[in-house]
A and B are shown apart, each in its own frame.
Chain A
Amino acid sequence: MPRIRRELYCKEICSCSIFGAMNQGGERFNAAGVMKAIANMHVRGNGLGGGFAAYGIYPQYKDYYAFHLMFTGKSKQDRLEAKAELEALLCHKFEVVYDEEIPHEDESTMIDPPLVWRYFLLPHKRGEEEALSDEEYIVSKIMQVNTKIENAYVFSSGKNMGCFKGVGYPEEIGRYFMLDRLYEAYTWTVHGRFPTNTQAWWGGAHPFSLLDTSIVHNGEISSYGTNRWYLEMYGYACTLQTDTEVIAYAADLLMRRQRLPIDIVAKILAPPIWNAIDRMNQSERKLLTTLRMVYGPLLMNGPFAIIIGQTGRMIGLTDRIRLRPLTAAKRGDMFYLSSEEASIRLISPQLDRVWTPNGGEPVVGELNNKRTVLQ
């Protein structure tokens, strides 16, 4: 048997600010407010990464998967080659209904921006792959692109949603992609980043997303190695050199593939301690014991606060001993999640309710009526 080489990947670790705003009535709004709010947490980042996930931005293409692609590489030539290679694959495996460069401001204002392109497409399955569901098919193709095509990364792939990210402060990224002018979403999640150990690259910024699930994350996952091997058994290739990726894949595995409800998923990612479980009534004890037994490798250990975005839903969760801040707030139809309360107050001084969720306890905001965005 040939020797398997040990990997010399570098896991990025970072501290960050996170912010999320959702209109539960389904009304769409531009990014001006969230950009102001995240800018208020400027010092929680260091200008080496910022990004946005926006839900409901492509109503005219809502039935198509929106792929956002990043073509990196030293020279323009490298990027165009990666793009050509990717498009050869897309033409073969998908039906592309529309594609364009994602509009942006002058490139000279940013540090080394890659070529960023979007494709609206439908899967074109052939042969054995016809047995796969659309989503399984898409995920397998994303893994193929991200591991096989050098300098090409799919960083957003859901329907009627999109991620925008890069190197810079989040408010700069927002301006670069003109999020306050070109897009309206019913949910925005934002991330400002403070990486500590590796040189910044555009693909490493948050959010991380797969299909319509996006994650912004503040923290460091000490269990990364364990989570990673578990996810790799289920075909998730961790290529983006960051621990946030494993949360995105874990959410995809548990929520989409295994169809577990968010309450259960929270109990897997951030389970109660055994002392508490042992004191519960018999049915709860059995459930939680079984969950920890079976899904132990997906326990996210170490400090984290995350905001998970999904179609029609925004979820906040912290680690079980709550080592990172997260504040939740409500005002009318608006639902906010933020690292700091001040940022929420900045854009909505009056709030109906503000609270600090307990460690490991998910806070979920859902659209009052999903149809408003789906039809």
Chain B
Amino acid sequence: MKSFVFPEFQIIRDEERCGQCRGCERQCAFGTHTYDPVADRLISDDTKCAGCQRCVIFCPKHAILVRPAPSFYRPNASWSREKLEDLKKQAETGGVILTGSGNDKPFRIYWDHILLNASQVTNPSIDPLREPMELRTFLGSKPDIMDISAQDGKVDIRTEISPNLMVETPILFSAMSYGAISYNAFGSLARAACKSGTYFNTGEGGLPKEMRAEFGRCAIVQVASGRFGIDAEYLNCAAAVEIKVGQGAKPGIGGHLPGEKVSQLVAETRMIPQGTDAISPAPHHDIYSIEDLSMLITALKEATNYEKPISVKIAAVHNFAAIASGIVRAGADIIAIDGLRGGTGAAPKAIRDNVGIPIELAISSLDRRLRGEGIRNRCSIIAAGGIRCSADVVKAIALGADAVYIGSAALIAMGCTLCQKCYTGKCNWGICTTDPRLSGRLNMDIASQRLSNLISAWSHEIAEMLGGMGINALESLRGNRDHLRGVGLYEWELDVLGIKGAGE
């Protein structure tokens, strides 16, 4: 059937600069560029281009430019080009439109409507280059009251403290499974987490055996509805265990790793036959209610001898705060909430673009809910989905999060350009693929260096912002909405965020 869809991108090649080295041809897994030996020219097929910019960056002569195709349908506010084309694609295929990465729609980004405070006169700002500035955070349940006995200067703690994760900076790598991302990308996250004093999350694809001894100590291992790759050793080698209930990019639906991506190593790690589809059901079929979740939390605590905090990850949906409160009462030590803009390796576009609520509002309402019930101490909150820079981290913590997960930001640090073609398995950047030819492009030394550089850069910036507010320990920022002001927000939005408007 003839496709009626325009090419998304236009490739412009400067023939004078092009040296016919065929580098672009080798770089593109989508087969966009081909060499014509008769004309000694490279020919580009715009229809195949994913817009990932790999060829542009790797062209030694800077001869290629890839830009959005300027072709247009008659302008129509209701029928945008995207709506028209999605419809045409469905008319041509009869299928669900898949996509990758996070929601790219122009829903209000609250981070950009929140401003931070700084000290002037009455309270000295603190220079983080000269004074201590502490970002260390503990994630897990804390008791309300400590029973301490002090006799003759000897102090004894009688209260049993539940296990907590210690992070040197409040930034963790979000769940991205081996299989969805390449071995090299997965390994780079693990290495960078260990180097930077933080944690990476294995996602639901298991943790390759050979990585357990070295990287288990900075791994949060996931237990998801597919139960891939779970055994006692997997649970016990890790620092914490996370039950994945939902994901911000696709709340309410499961996952599907196509058989083509299930290589031998992926198959071994996930404990499934090679080449078979790895399907995670939409719900956990042993969790149909909160009491079922409570049983799984307890089972995992039993399996790990009560030595590891148990996290529960849910997507931020309409009534999630009440659900999260139930999850805390069910025994979770950490609640991870994933907002509207959370990323994914593959999701139906209709779901990704229309389900969930923004993380900024979610953090605030969850924090207030738990405080209102007096159980905020009993769990930590990790916020995920749409954290783009250090200021977002500071705002998330001031709204009530204990720490954040970064997913897309970490991938971007490794080279991702958010072309949203993750579901094809043809990632030219070697990140979201299991093709050994492509994943070999990601050098683990360099990628992990880029990741730990990112953590270090953000941490410095967070320290700088904290110092400006006259705060020298991160715990004094948590839930401290005094240091936030809104601009350009409606009254109800300020109410939900619990912050004053600028100048109020």
Contact = CB atoms under 8 A, between A and B. Distances in A.
Interface of A: 3-8, 11, 13-15, 196, 219-220, 222-226, 229-230, 232-234, 258, 260-261, 263-264, 273-275, 286-287, 290-297, 299, 301-303, 320-321, 323
A290 B161 contact: yes
Contacts of B123: 13, 219-220, 222, 302-303
Contact of A224 (B143, B480, B494): B480
Interface of B: 119, 121-124, 126, 131-132, 134, 136, 138, 142-143, 145-146, 148, 150, 155, 157, 161, 164, 368, 371, 374, 376-377, 398, 469-473, 475-483, 492, 494-500, 504
B178 to A, nearest CB: 32
Contacts of A321: 126, 131-132, 472
Given A222-B469, A293-B138, A293-B161, 15 more contacts: A6-B498, A11-B482, A14-B122, A219-B123, A225-B398, A225-B479, A225-B481, A225-B483, A226-B475, A258-B145, A263-B150, A264-B148, A264-B155, A292-B475, A321-B472
Contact of A303 (B124, B146, B161, B469): B124
B240 to A, nearest CB: 15
Nearest to A272: B132
Contact of B371 (A15, A232, A296): A232
Contact of B132 (A226, A275, A290): A275
Contacts of A11: 482
Contact of A294 (B142, B155, B470): B142
A176 B157 CA distance: 48
Nearest to B151: A261
A303 B496 CA distance: 31
Indicate the member of B155, B371, B374, B496 with the most A CB atoms within 10 Å.
B155
B368 A4 contact: yes
Contacts of A258: 145-146
B480 A225 contact: yes
A294 B374 contact: no
Given A264-B155, A274-B136, A299-B475, A13 B122 contact: yes
B399 to A, nearest CB: 11
Contacts of A297: 475, 478-479
30 contacts: A4-B498, A7-B498, A13-B122, A219-B123, A220-B123, A222-B123, A222-B469, A223-B476, A223-B480, A225-B398, A225-B482, A226-B476, A226-B477, A226-B479, A229-B376, A260-B148, A261-B148, A261-B150, A273-B134, A274-B132, A286-B157, A293-B142, A294-B146, A295-B146, A296-B138, A296-B473, A296-B475, A296-B478, A297-B478, A301-B470
A233 B497 contact: no
Contacts of B483: 222, 225
Nearest to B124: A323
Given A5-B495, A11-B482, A301 B472 contact: yes
Given A226-B478, A290-B157, A3 B472 contact: no
B476 A301 contact: yes
Contact of B496 (A3, A229, A301, A320): A3
A90 to B, nearest CB: 29
A294 B162 CA distance: 11
Given A226-B477, A229-B479, A4 B495 contact: yes
A299 B476 contact: yes
A275 B473 CA distance: 12
A303 B469 CA distance: 12
B105 to A, nearest CB: 25
Nearest to A14: B122
Nearest to A260: B148
Contacts of B482: 11, 224-225
Contacts of A263: 150, 155
A13 B480 CA distance: 16
Contacts of A296: 138, 473, 475-476, 478
A274 B168 CA distance: 10
A303 B143 CA distance: 28
A275 B131 CA distance: 12
